[in-house]
Amino acid sequence: MFNTLSGRFLLLTVAFVMLAEVLIFVPSIARFRADYLLLRLEKAQIASLATLATEDLISAELERELLANAGVYNVVLRRDAVRQLVLSSPIPGEVAETHDLRQSGPWQLIRDAVDVLRRPENRLIRVIGNPVQDAGLLIEVTMDSAPLRAAMVDYGQRILWLSALISVMTAVLLFLAVRMLMVQPIRRVVRHMTAYAEAPEDARRIIAPTARVHELREAEEALARMQTQLTAALRQKARLAQLGEAVAKVSHDLRNILTTAQLFADRIEDSADPAVARAAPKLVGSISRAVSLCESTLAFGKAEEPPPRLTRFALRPLAEDVLEGEGLGAEGAVVALTDIAPGLVVRADPEQLYRVLANLVRNARQALEATGAGGTIELAAGEDEQSWWIRVGDTGPGLPAKARENLFHAFSGGARKGGTGLGLAIAAELVRGHGGSLELSRSDSKGTEFVIRLPREAAPGLDPD
Confidence tier at 462 by pLDDT (50, 70, 90): very low
Average pLDDT of the segment spanning 421-441: 87
Cα separation of 210 and 212, whole Å? 6
Rounded Cα–Cα distance for residues 56 and 63 (Å): 10
Tell me how far CA of residue 111 lies from CA of 34, 115, 118, 144, 152, in angstroms. Answer: 12, 6, 11, 18, 14
In CATH, what number does 311-455 get?
3.30.565.10
Do residues 223 and 207 make contact, with C-beta atoms less than 8 angstroms apart?
yes
Rounded to an integer, what distance in angstroms lies between the CA atom of residue 195 and that of residue 189?
10
Instruction: Round to whole Å and give the CA distance between 400 and 191.
Output: 52
Confidence of residue 105 (pLDDT cuts 50, 70, 90): confident
| 9/435: higher pLDDT | 435
Is the pLDDT confidence value at 451 over 90?
Answer: yes
Query: What sign does the CA torsion over 251, 253, 259, 264 have?
Result: negative
Q: Does position 413 have pLDDT exceeding 90, yes or no? A: no
193 vs 213, higher pLDDT: 193
Residues 330-345: what's their mean pLDDT? 90
In this structure, of 63-77, 270-284, 323-337, the range with the lowest mean pLDDT score is 270-284
Task: CATH 1.10.287 in the chain: give the residue spans.
Answer: 214-300
Tens digit of each residue's pLDDT (9 = 90 or more) over 152-195: 999 988 888 887 788 778 878 877 887 787 778 888 888 888 88
How many other CB atoms are found less than 10 A from the CB of residue 56?
Answer: 8
Distance from C-alpha of 357 to C-alpha of 363, rounded to nearest angstrom: 10
Q: Does residue 5 register a pLDDT over 90?
A: no
Strands 375-383, 387-394: pairing is: antiparallel
Helices 422-433 and 274-300 cross at an angle (nearest 10°) of: 30
- When pLDDT is averaged across residues 79-83 and rounded to a whole number, the result is 74
Give the pLDDT score at 243: 64
pLDDT bucket at 421, cuts 50 / 70 / 90: low
Helix (H, G, I), strand (E, B) or coil at 98: strand
Which pLDDT does position 450 carry in this prediction? 95
Categorise residue 206: left if φ over 0, alpha if ψ from -120 to 50, beta otherwise: beta
pLDDT, residue 408, reads 76
Name the nearest CA neighbour of 397 among 419, 375, 424, 429. Answer: 375
Q: Higher model confidence: residue 446 or residue 379? A: 379
**303 pLDDT above the threshold of 50:** no
CATH topology of domain 214-300: Helix Hairpins (1.10.287)
pLDDT at 439: 93
Identity of the residue numbered 203:
A
Can you give the pLDDT at residue 464? 46
Calculate what percentage of the chain has a pLDDT beyond 90: 22
Give the single-character DSSP code of 127.
E
Which one has a higher pLDDT value, 426 or 283? 426
* pLDDT over 50 at 465, yes or no: no
Over 80: is that where the pLDDT of 366 sits?
A: yes
Local structure of 182: helix, strand or coil: helix
Cα 114 to Cα 93: distance, rounded to the nearest angstrom: 24
Nearest to residue 361, comparing CAs of 379, 344, 345?
379
Average pLDDT estimate for 207-211: 83
Q: What average pLDDT does the chain have?
A: 81
Sign of CA dihedral 141, 144, 146, 150: negative
Give the mean model confidence (pLDDT) for residues 438-465.
Answer: 79
Residue 86 pLDDT > 70: yes
As annotated, the residues of the chain forming the CATH 3.30.565.10 domain(s) are 311-455
Q: What is the DSSP string of 299-333?
A: HHTSSPPPPP--EEEEHHHHHHHHHHHTT-BSSSS
pLDDT band, residue 333 (cuts 50/70/90)? confident
Choice among 241-250, 322-331, 373-382, 440-449 with the minimum mean pLDDT: 241-250
**How far is 190 from 198, CA to CA, in rounded Å?**
13
| Phi-psi domain of 291 (left: phi exceeds 0; alpha: psi -120 through 50; beta: other) | alpha
Average pLDDT over residues 81-89: 80
**Range with lowest mean pLDDT among 44-58, 222-236, 333-347, 367-381:** 44-58
pLDDT of residue 25: 80
